[in-house]
């Protein structure tokens, strides 16, 4: 189902849109519709790529912290509590396993989190 929408362009933009529509072999009403669809798809794709890049950074951080602990010893509950406080992580992250740190920094829960999909309270 299509809906009609009225759009107002500045004169120079109107001419640029008209030329782009002509070059693409589209009507003047069809070109903005396709442009809007392309923009929405590009934004969605950019969000997917940003999430993937963030996930890779968090996995890299987890790998680094795992290696550090393998060489230096596990973080103490006190160290984890301090890091949680300083980073403003949810209360359950304090004094718990390291996976909470990277999950909370990444804005998500590890699979074992009881809050999975429901968000967290702070502090």
- Listed in sequence order, the residues at least 6 apart from 34 whose beta carbon sits closer than 8 Å to its beta carbon are 24, 26
CB 94 within 8 A of CB 107: no
Higher-pLDDT residue of 15, 81: 15
Residues 66 and 97 grouped into a single domain: no
Write out the residue range of the structural domain in which residue 109 sits: 74-123
Of 73, 93, 112, which marks where a domain is finished?
73
Return the pLDDT at 100: 57
Return the pLDDT at 123: 35
- DSSP label at 53? H
pLDDT in tens, 8-35: 999 999 999 999 999 999 999 899 999 9
Please count the structural domains in the chain: 2
Return the pLDDT at 96: 46
- Answer whether residue 117 is part of any domain: yes
- Answer whether residue 81 is part of any domain: yes
How many CA atoms does the CB half-sphere of 83 hold within 13 Å? 18
Rg from Cα positions in the chain: 24
Return the pLDDT at 121: 42
Return the pLDDT at 2: 81
- Answer whether residue 26 is part of any domain: yes
Question: Which range (18-27, 80-89, 101-110) has the least confidence?
Answer: 101-110
Query: What confidence tier does 91 reach under pLDDT thresholds 50, 70, 90?
Result: low
């Amino acid at each position: 189902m299509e809906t009609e929408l009225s759009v107002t362009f500045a004169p120079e933009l109107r001419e640029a849109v008209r030329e782009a529509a002509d070059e693409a072999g589209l009507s003047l009403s069809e070109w903005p519709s396709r442009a809007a669809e392309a923009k929405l798809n590009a934004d969605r794709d950019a969000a997917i790529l940003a999430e993937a890049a963030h996930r890779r950074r968090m996995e890299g951080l987890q790998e680094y912290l795992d290696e550090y602990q393998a060489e230096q010893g596990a973080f103490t509950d006190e160290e984890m509590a301090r890091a949680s406080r300083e980073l403003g992580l949810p209360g359950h992250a304090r004094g718990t396993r390291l996976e909470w740190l990277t999950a909370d920094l990444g804005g998500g829960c590890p699979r074992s989190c009881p809050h999975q999909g429901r968000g967290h309270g702070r502090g």
